[in-house]
Amino acid sequence: MATRRSRVPLQADFLVIGSGVAGLRAALELSRSGRVMVLTKGHPLQSSSIYAQGGVAVAMSEEDDVAIHFTDTIKAGHGLCRKEAVRMLVEEGPARIQELIRWGAKFDKIGGKLAFAREAAHSRSRILRARGDATGNEMVRVLIAEVNRQKQIQRLDHHFTVDLVVENGRCCGAAVLDEASGRQFVLPACAIVLTTGGAGQIYARTTNPPNATGDGVAMALRAGAVLQDMEFVQFHPTALYLPSSPSFLLSEAMRGEGAQLRNNKGALFMQRYHPMGALAPRDIVSRAILAEMAATKARHVYLDVTHLGTEFLKRRFPTIYATCLRYDIDITEEWIPVSPSAHYMMGGVWTDLNGATTVPGLFAAGEVACSGVHGANRLASNSLLEGLVFGARAAAAAVAFAEGQEISKLTAQDTALRAGPFGILEDEEKLRSSLRRTMWGQVGVIRSGESLVRACAQLSRWAQLVALPFATRAALEIKNMVQVAQCVAEAALWRENSVGAHYRSDCLEAKRAGWQQHSRLSSGDVVSGKAARQSRGSLLSLRGRLK
Ligand code: SIN
């Protein structure tokens, strides 16, 4: 998609960095109060939101109620959710979805009424879907169309944000790389909303698209923002496992519709691990799969949907059906090889209930942010709703912040940015792959103090990259991945218990003293490895609580 109105001078009151559901919804809100620039690295139709299959959870069915959605979310978060944030999510969610429907979103219906599906850990059927398994795609389609209608919004696609600009303690712009020309320049603004999504690419196996390299978390950290809960990474139990394919997601909705998990010998196994069987919480299913893989000396287990019927499968899961066929698996006839993959970051840039980070002028929403709605484990399908609700909230707060603020000139920063010299990253691909394998092997579904110490030591060998300026998107992404990986490993080493998605084989107890504390990191802690050093012998030493 070409950048619109490219001859309009590059100036805006607000910058939105990232164009998934949270970014697009934020841009629409901001456009009521000023000029908005939406920066996207690569193509705007490559965000993680686009790939969201299963759906969007919202308490709108006759059998449901926001109080029940609240309770399910809190339960999934294992006591580490921020209750006020969850309340906002479930209470404001229905209005955000109705608004999307008014803008043209077509969610699937049965008998003229919205169809609500069931997913793991939901006690009601509350998952809306579109075109069977293309929910994120439909939501982004509608939001982009709405964004394109707003004259106040300018899109700058194929522009990679290198860093945030902070002057006198305020975030007042961004340094940007034009991916086509290689030119770097500074864009000033009154307020910046960060919506860059997740960081699944720091793992060798991930359901995330290639651009999920944690850029927003890394640049916010460099700008002085505080990160929270970085140890909580959700692993999805069922991603396609084929040597030649990416770890394509096989939606939990398949298990919601009756799909079964079988080990390498063909035996059903989930009932041995949890009374809810294949619909147990994701972390439990992921660990059960790994245990079965180890017991049968296999690299995967199987997802079996063959009993659900060809017509049903083609209608209900058209994207999954077609994608698997592309890899020569006919899901109507064959069991699908699957294994767990990194899926979602519960942690991220700490925000208050209105999306404000600890850096004035910088706001964050969606997966890049840690608003507190997910706690230690995200309830399935809550993230698209979070993007809508907190995208709008962060934008409203950015508008309030910008009132009376001048746009800074930032000429000196612009000149400095162009001056170089830029660092050169030798053997980029090798470094990227080593990092991803280190994270998968040492900081994956099951971690231990020993594996985390090894990971921290390995990652700190690459840490000198963080201080270097680079000229290419690939090198800048690797620098961000190193930084985010360090944060995850350090926070995981600090948390000496097993809670939610964070499972330490050396600390199985869930509720040892201080377990309800949140890990918080800022740049000094990560660069110096302070978190890792302090963690030995104490669960509570990473950071004091934010007020
Ligand atoms: C899925 O469809 O299984 C993923 C949905 C989610 O992660 O919320």
Compute the C-alpha angle 132/133/135, nearest 5°. Answer: 100
- For the chain, first and last CA: distance in Å? 44
Of 307, 293, 232, the C-alpha closest to 263 is: 293
| Cα–Cα distance measured from residue 212 to residue 220, given in angstroms and rounded to the nearest whole number | 15
The rounded Å distance from CA 256 to ligand 1 centre is 11
The rounded Å distance from CA 2 to ligand 1 centre is 30
The rounded Å distance from CA 282 to ligand 1 centre is 10
The rounded Å distance from CA 52 to ligand 1 centre is 6
Sheet containing 348-350: order of strands: 369-370, 348-350, 227-228, 520-521
**Structural contact between residues 21 and 219, judged by C-beta atoms closer than 8 angstroms:** no
- The best mutation among 69, 73, 119, 286 to test binding of ligand 1, ranked by most ligand atoms within 8 Å of the C-beta, falls on 119
Mean predicted confidence (pLDDT) in 379-405: 96
Atom of ligand 1 nearest to the CA of 54: 2
- The best mutation among 255, 341, 381 to test binding of ligand 1, ranked by most ligand atoms within 8 Å of the C-beta, falls on 381
Q: What residue spans in the chain does CATH classification 3.90.700.10 cover? A: 236-341
pLDDT at 537: 42
The rounded Å distance from CA 200 to ligand 1 centre is 14
Atom of ligand 1 nearest to the CA of 384: 8
pLDDT at 535: 58
* Higher local confidence (pLDDT), 408 or 68: 68
Atom of ligand 1 nearest to the CA of 53: 2
Catalytic residues: 282
pLDDT at 5: 42
Q: Which of 252-256, 517-521, 534-538 has the lowest mean pLDDT?
A: 534-538
* 3-class DSSP state of 268: strand
Ligand 1, CB within 6 Å, residue ranges: 53-54, 251-253, 380-381, 383
Instruction: For the beta carbon of residue 317, count every other beta carbon within 10 angstroms.
Output: 26
Q: Which of 9-23, 255-269, 343-357 has the lowest mean pLDDT?
A: 9-23
The rounded Å distance from CA 292 to ligand 1 centre is 22
Q: 515 vs 172, 487, 535, 547, CA distance in Å? A: 37, 19, 13, 18
Write out pLDDT tens, residues 495-513.
999 999 999 999 999 888 8
Atom of ligand 1 nearest to the CA of 382: 8
508 CB contacts (<8 Å, ≥6 apart)?
498
Q: Which of 245-254, 293-302, 475-484 has the lowest mean pLDDT?
A: 245-254
Nearest CA to ligand 1 atom 2: 54
Q: Which residues pair with 9 in a beta bridge?
A: none
pLDDT at 539: 39
Based on C-alpha coordinates, what's the Rg of the chain? 22
- The best mutation among 69, 236, 279 to test binding of ligand 1, ranked by most ligand atoms within 8 Å of the C-beta, falls on 236
H/E stretch holding 136 reads helix 135-149
Length of the chain: 547
CATH class of 236-341: alpha beta
Residue 543 has pLDDT above 60, yes or no: no
H/E stretch holding 491 reads helix 473-494
Q: Which of 117-126, 347-356, 404-413 reaches the highest mean pLDDT?
A: 347-356
Confidence class of residue 534 from pLDDT cuts 50, 70 and 90? low
Sheet containing 260-262: order of strands: 233-240, 336-345, 301-304, 260-262
Q: 301 vs 124, 233, 271, 319, 349, CA distance in Å? A: 28, 22, 15, 21, 35
Atom of ligand 1 nearest to the CA of 343: 7
Encoding tokens for residue 187? 């864009």
Place of tokens 């964070």: 502
* DSSP string computed for 93-156: HHHHHHHHHHTT----EETTEE--B--TT-SS--EE-STTT-HHHHHHHHHHHHHHH-TTEEEE
**Structural contact between residues 342 and 368, judged by C-beta atoms closer than 8 angstroms:** no
Q: Which residues pair with 423 in a beta bridge?
A: 470
Report the predicted TM-score, pTM, of the whole model to 2 decimal places: 0.94
Atom of ligand 1 nearest to the CA of 344: 7
Assigned architecture for domain 421-542: Up-down Bundle (1.20)
| Cα–Cα distance measured from residue 3 to residue 492, given in angstroms and rounded to the nearest whole number | 40
Nearest CA to ligand 1 atom 8: 381
Mean predicted confidence (pLDDT) in 393-411: 94
- The best mutation among 133, 251, 385 to test binding of ligand 1, ranked by most ligand atoms within 8 Å of the C-beta, falls on 251
